[in-house]
Amino acid sequence: MKSFDAIVIGGGQAGPFLAARMVEKGMKVALIERKFLGGTCVNAGCMPTKTLVASARAAHVARSGAVYGVNIPGEIAIDMKVVRARAEAVTMNARNGLIGWFAGMDGMTVIYGHARFEDPKTVSVNGETLTAPRIFLNVGARPVIPDLPGINDIDYLTSTSIIHLDTLPRHLAVIGGSYIGLEFAQMYRRFGAEVSVIEHGPKLASREDEDISDAIADVLRSEGIDIHTGVSDIAFARSSDGITVATDSARIDASHVLIATGRKPNTDDLGLDAAGVITDKHGYITVDDKLATNVEGIWALGDCNGHGAFTHTSYNDFEIAAANLLDGDDRNLSSRIPAYALYIDPPLGRVGMTEKQARASGRKIMISTRPMSRVGRANERGETKGFMKVIADAETKKILGAAILGIEGDEVIHGIIDAMNAGTTYPALQWSVPIHPTVSELIPTLLGDLKPV
């Protein structure tokens, strides 16, 4: 049996950085990864997909050049092999950077294999047994494949496998109208494929307020994406030239099907029972405000704990654990203000409560909205789709939440994220003097238009 000061299972966006911090403190650490360092973000999520989004936007801008007085003769052609190679290069650069970083650390042992608990202090991997007083789980999540009629008879794609396509689908059917599915839908439409989105719920991006969901649908429909919502029945069958997707309201002749119906934690094959670690009904590991599980000496970080399915929340889990365990700090998971983005174009930046959540909280609230058509920078760039929205507490004057669906919305939202984290009231933020011409300069104006509801 090999002994360590700590064992980290999973090489995503929390565990490896915590392992590096512990090594800096002179500890002996084993980092176990069953496949690739970097987790979903580096290998099948943010980095490759946003690289693909950038290629798709380049195609869209090229096709739109005439509007700006830039005439490009001939058809805009897409070389999917180059598109794929570019995304793969971004992934490999990041992955190899992590490999090189860890290889140079004395005290770090990287093991590739599938780890399982033998007891609360012991794990087995590749026939070896390792033990440590502290074990950190950062095992991530994977796509959910729903049990739908005919699904096992077709060759479907997931968010992991579609990034390896080097040919253009004739017609891509996206099953699921949430964040991952919508990004791929617009991306492949811009590459030149016909695209249909099929969603069980009544709206796309159902987590959002209805006005945001409707605006997202408008953006996608304006680019020729076929959207089907409120679909109760879906079945698949092979056809002579692809896949038939039959719903209760339509029949779609697709060449490819992307299943984007959510993700589930990679916790079902870790031997958690042997360690006594509790999970909820969805398989997420139950943690307290310090990210500790119910078993002393075991923590869960990142997607597998159900407290955020994003790279930035996973990294913040690392920061919380490192601050509390290594720096003598007292940081809590509950102090984190939720924020995220949807990377369609224009993007959606979101922070805090939705209007629906704010109304349900019983607070006296104020709301302000502003269309992007009334933002100078958006008009100058010729990108006026979407709108800005902010919700505030009428009594405390604190900002409760905001959504910016529009040009650079994923960046502009950070002005509000920072203000919320600093506890700044909206009247104070109104007195800032932003740079002109930017999208962010309209935040004080947006706040000045807050009205009670």
Binding-site positions read 50, 176-183, 199, 262, 303
Q: How far apart are CA 297 and CA 109, in angstroms?
A: 20
Is residue 100 a contact partner of residue 108, using CB atoms and an 8 Å limit? no
190, 205, 258 from 261: Cα distances, Å = 22, 11, 9
307 classed as catalytic: no
Separation between Cα atoms, residue 321 and residue 220, nearest integer Å: 40
| Alpha carbon distances (Å) from 384 to 267, 306, 349 | 44, 36, 16
Strand-strand pairing, 2-3 and 128-131: parallel
Omega of the bond leading into 437 within 30 degrees of 0 (cis):
yes
Nearest-angstrom CA–CA distance, 442 and 306: 35
CA distance 206 to 194: 24
With vertex at residue 21, the alpha carbon angle to CA 26 and CA 32, rounded to the nearest 5 degrees, is 95
Contact 9, 113 (CB under 8 A): no
Binding-site residues for NAD(+), in ranges, read 176-183, 199, 262
Q: Which H or E element spans position 117?
A: strand 116-119
Q: Determine how many CB atoms are found less than 10 A away from the CB of residue 421.
A: 13
- Identified catalytic residue from 60, 171, 414, 436: 436
Peptide bond into 346 cis (omega under 30): yes
Q: Which two tokens stand for residue 393?
A: 């507490």
Residue 119: strand pairing partners: 122
Residues annotated within the binding site for FAD are: 50, 303
Distance CA 53, CA 183 (A): 8
Contact 151, 236 (CB under 8 A): yes
Tokens of 141: 């999540």
On whether the CB atoms of residues 382 and 410 are closer than 8 A, the answer is no
The two three-digit tokens of residue 36, written as one number: 């690739």
Strand partners, 309: none
Q: Which residues form the catalytic set?
A: 436
